[in-house]
Structure 1
Amino acid sequence: MLDRFQLSEKYQFFKVVRTLPKVAIRNCLREASVGKTGNALDQDIRLERKIGKKSFYASFIVFRVEQPPTFLSKGKERDVKHCYALIIEYGDYLVVTRTGGKNFQECLDDYVEKVNSDILNRAFMEAKSTVKKANTQNTSPSTTAMHKVTYEGNNVEAVMPVHQITGKMLNSFKHETNGELFTVTGNQAKVNISNSKVAVQQYLARILVSIDNFSKKRKLNPFLANFAKSLSFKQYSAKLTPVEILLLTSEMRDYVESKDDSLPKLVYKVGKVERPIKSSFQTFLQSFENSFEINKYGTGTGRQFFINNTLDAGLELEVTANGYKLNSEKFKKLWIKYYNGDSENLQALINRKNWFSVSFKNADINYSKGQLWQDSKLLGSINGFLEMFKPEPAMNAITSEKGIITATSTSFPAGSTFAYVEATMGPTLDHLLLEDLNYEYSDYIGVKNMAHVQLIHCKASDKVFSATAFQEIVGQVLKNLYFFAHPEQMEDRKAYWSGMYSTSNIDRNRTGKKNFLQDLKATMNATNSIKEVHLIVNFISKQDLTDNLKKVVTKQKAPKATLPILWLLNALRNTCLERNVRVFITCKP
């Protein structure tokens, strides 16, 4: 029956990493045909075949299943469907295809791994190939970044700017090579070829030629080299050494605020016994507003690493089959309790939401949002990251974000980031509006009529070179970029913007008292207007950052915050570029 097969050219490629016994093949075919009607119509295991001088093994099963018609809710009527599963073994590789039946891939997990996407791309793509469609995924951990973007055209690489690719992973793409259309889904090791069905002999011949190409030294198409890659955690985790972890405390705060409970309680809970913790949840988070070194193996059944911190000496980073988890006997007993009586376990919540990122000795690899990423362009982009920074000597005198204000204050005190913005940026603008507090877009909104609109974010910290402080302000920037895409929402803010700041006598309209909303909307809609975000920070020196990033490139020991800051800069720049927003960071020299 196998010789009568007419197949669509759909392939999934695996590399055999452990001797595959015959019983495993038998289990695959049995799993594929679970629920079949009657006996198999035909089957064979490791049937030896040849095409020319090349030998390979074919295993298959053909069976029927009966199902209720999709358009009937009940009754005895049944549709009969013929299904098959086919496994081809050639050299060190295995190819799987099926129609109907049950997915049996789990039966192979102990014996195979998916073929690397670069190997697939080299085998099926040439330098002269034309990309027709690219489905990409953003590596940024921001919940407000455009996570998936699709590009489509007659020749995508000819019209797609490289800066729009940077920081994105290629999920799948379609290309034309030698008159055929190929769709490659790298993270699933699948290749589909768009044509009519082919005879089984042609199908098998394609498999043999493709696998032979895996070992040939073929150049990767230059277009594909620009993308970041998602790495298999199972395949790479044992080869990587975690060196730093950053807890995403700002995302934890945002989550709590979304519960409309700004003051949840922390309780120590063992069984049904609860004991209140003296410190508030916010104070507790402040204890983790830093990046922490990971430099010792932990104890336990799996691979674990100690996280050096002052709050919990037993806090570990545990390596599981599919990712990292925080593990602590203390954290397991900490619960967040809300005013309405609901409660959530802190450790389970952090692990479920993946509220941490991990850096490695391999600086171009990062673990965030539960995925392992490699961005080969990361270190080569450092000069571009540094271009965003504007060193200002005046930042050396900044000691606070907004200083101390009273009910009679009409301005912010010297030495604050707010005072700096008003003194240095205000005179260059037609409008400078104080937006801080409430559900703000930024701390300030600046407008130069018909020229540019600026969102200005300020962050002061007494910590030097702080990844946590930088993560917080970058998170605010990324969260509020939607402001530029939805100018219609600004009308709702008119009354708020016309008032005073907090409990002070500070007018929110700091520069330009009239027509702010009118000028803002006109400038936002102007064809040639420029959109900008400005970050004002006192805890980063451009020279220190430059020196530390050079250490990363030359593989010297750099301060622990360097790698998290590097990946935050990558997310910031890439997300702003895809929104066509310019970004500047004012900092210490």
Structure 2
Amino acid sequence: MKHPVTGDEVGGIALNKTRIALRSLDVPSISDVSVESTQYVLGTDENRLPLRRFIDQNDAFIVLFDQPQYAYIDGSLYQDDSLTSGGATFLGYLFASEELAHVTGEKGTFSAAHTTFDDTSTFGAILGPIAAEDDVIVCDDLNEEWADFIGFRTDPASPRITFYHAKHGALSLGASPFHISVSQALKNLGNLALPEPKMAAKFGVWDRCYNNDRQRTRIQRVCRGTMAAVQAAVTQCRSAPHTMKRVAIVTSSLSKAAVAAEFDRMNVGGRVDPYFVQLYWLLSSYFAACAEVGAFGCVICQE
């Protein structure tokens, strides 16, 4: 394996009979990093693993091939021909929002006088047209958050719960801007069920004003609706068997048109960009993981 910028050798893999192993990983910045169990005080876990061994044992890496329709992810080999056949299915998971073109930050600025999130932030964009169909919305950012925002559509005919994960960054066709948001989204898929034992603590958090980095504000965490409406929405969406569960990564760092153009370029024989292939497989694995728990995963991005 070579460093994408310097071209230096930084590691190697081994092709075994049943799996691909991460044989070595020589990156000075992580050479002293180990992974420990959270049940121990930091530095006292005798079974802690060097990061390279942890990555290898948990198959926490992706291997891409010269033929981009193949990828080795989480210890399994996958084939997806849609990458080389126009990308129509993949594009169906991307939803364009004009509002995100005007975003300059993820959360915006805060002061004691703030009563809502800045319009020029991703947070503000979510509370604008992006979550327009939700009649109840709470901000769950910080602490043990499930998502930055949780939206509820309480129409009895089509109830829906949405976990919104907000990000901001420069436009890119690489995977790097998505690693954190995808990880956060996957970690909280189980909470889409709104587990009753956890709700009392959540209601307590949501019934307060939002504070960020020790700055108090007048922003209510119940951004749309009332606390009573929130509790009723939780009960309704949890109990209705036809509730749609949706997970949305909302980001200004991706353009749907740019993704479509990349597919078009590949379809006419253009060079396959390895960074775009990595993005494709990272998001595809996110969409698939959501589907496995009966949820619809998507990305809301720039036009």
Match of 1:476 in 2: 184
CA distance in 1 between partners of 2:222 and 2:31 (Å)? 48
Within a 5 Å distance, the mapping from 1:57-456 to structure 2 comes to: 305-309=1-5, 313-321=8-16, 322-325=19-22, 326-328=24-26, 330=28, 333-336=31-34, 339-342=42-45, 344-376=49-81, 379=84, 382-425=87-130, 427-449=132-154, 450=156, 451-456=159-164
SS at match of 2:125: helix
Shift in CA distance, 573/500, structure 1 to aligned 2, threshold 3 Å:
same
Instruction: Report if aligned partners of 1:435, 1:444 keep a CA contact under 8 Å in 2.
Output: yes
Instruction: Report if aligned partners of 1:466, 1:540 keep a CA contact under 8 Å in 2.
Output: no
Unaligned runs of 5+ in 1: 1-304
Match of 1:507 among 220, 223, 239: 220
CA-to-partner distance for each residue in 1:24-68, whole Å, 9 max, x for gaps? xxxxxxxxxxxxxxxxxxxxxxxxxxxxxxxxxxxxxxxxxxxxx
Match of 1:494 among 203, 206, 217: 203
CA distance in 1 between partners of 2:263 and 2:244 (Å)? 30
The Cα shift of 1:463 comes to 5.3
Match of 2:165 in 1: 457
Instruction: Report if aligned partners of 2:82, 2:90 keep a CA contact under 8 Å in 1.
Output: no
Unaligned runs of 5+ in 2: 36-40
Match of 1:517 in 2: 231
CA-to-partner distance for each residue in 1:174-211, whole Å, 9 max, x for gaps? xxxxxxxxxxxxxxxxxxxxxxxxxxxxxxxxxxxxxx
Match of 2:255 in 1: 541
Instruction: Report if aligned partners of 1:397, 1:415 keep a CA contact under 8 Å in 2.
Output: yes
CA distance in 1 between partners of 2:89 and 2:281 (Å)? 13
Whether 1:579 and 2:296 are equivalent positions in the alignment is no
The Cα shift of 1:324 comes to 4.0
What do you get for the CA RMSD once the two structures are aligned? 2.8
SS at match of 2:57: helix
| Higher Rg of the two aligned structures | 1
The Cα shift of 1:411 comes to 2.0
Which has the larger displacement, 313-322 or 337-346?
337-346
The Cα shift of 1:496 comes to 1.1
Instruction: Report if aligned partners of 1:536, 1:586 keep a CA contact under 8 Å in 2.
Output: yes
Instruction: Report if aligned partners of 2:83, 2:263 keep a CA contact under 8 Å in 1.
Output: no
Indicate the percent of aligned positions where both proteins have the same amino acid.
22
Counterpart residue type for residue 467 of structure 1:
A
Q: Give me the TM-score of the superposition, normalised by structure 2.
A: 0.81
Bigger proportion of residues as strand: 1
CA-to-partner distance for each residue in 1:475-503, whole Å, 9 max, x for gaps? 22222221233432323311111112124
Shift in CA distance, 329/476, structure 1 to aligned 2, threshold 3 Å:
closer
The Cα shift of 1:407 comes to 4.0
The Cα shift of 1:419 comes to 0.8
Counterpart residue type for residue 306 of structure 1:
K
Instruction: Report if aligned partners of 1:487, 1:521 keep a CA contact under 8 Å in 2.
Output: no
Shift in CA distance, 540/411, structure 1 to aligned 2, threshold 3 Å:
same
CA distance in 1 between partners of 2:140 and 2:233 (Å)? 16
CA distance in 2 between partners of 1:425 and 1:413 (Å)? 15
